Amino acid sequence: MNQLSISELNEVDLFPIVQQVFNKAYKEEKLIYNESDSFEILEDGNLKFKIEIVGGLSKRPSNRPQEPGNKTNIPRPRKDVHAADPFMIPEPELTVVERLADDYRLILNKYPNSSNHFLLVTREFVKQDSLLTPKELATMYFTLQNLGRHENYFSFFNSGSESGYSQYHKHVQFMPFPKELENIFVDDLVRGEEYYLPKDTRSSRQCLNDPNCPYQHYVLPLPKIPFDLEEAEEQLGMAYMVLFRKVLNCFKYLNGPNPFDVSYNLLMTSKWIMIIPRRNAKFDKVWTNALAFIGLFLAKDTEIQGLIKEYGPSTILQENGFPNHGDGLADENDY
Q: What's the CA gap between 66 and 75, in Å, rounded? A: 5
> Which residues, at least 6 apart from 169, have a Cβ–Cβ distance to it below 8 Å?
63, 85, 86, 87, 88, 121, 122, 125, 126, 128
Over its C-alpha atoms, the chain yields an Rg (Å, rounded) of: 19
Name beta bridge partners: 267: 156, 274
Q: What's the CA gap between 139 and 234, in Å, rounded? A: 13
> Which residues, at least 6 apart from 70, have a Cβ–Cβ distance to it below 8 Å?
none
Q: What's the CA gap between 143 and 15, in Å, rounded? A: 10
Q: What's the CA gap between 43 and 47, in Å, rounded? A: 6
- In terms of Cβ atoms closer than 10 Å to its own Cβ (0-12, 13-18, 19+), residue 88 is middle
Name beta bridge partners: 169: 127
Q: Which of 82, 117, 150, 171 is catalytic?
A: 171
| CB of 320 closer than 8 Å to CB of 302 | no
Is 169 annotated as catalytic? no
Positions marked active-site:
171
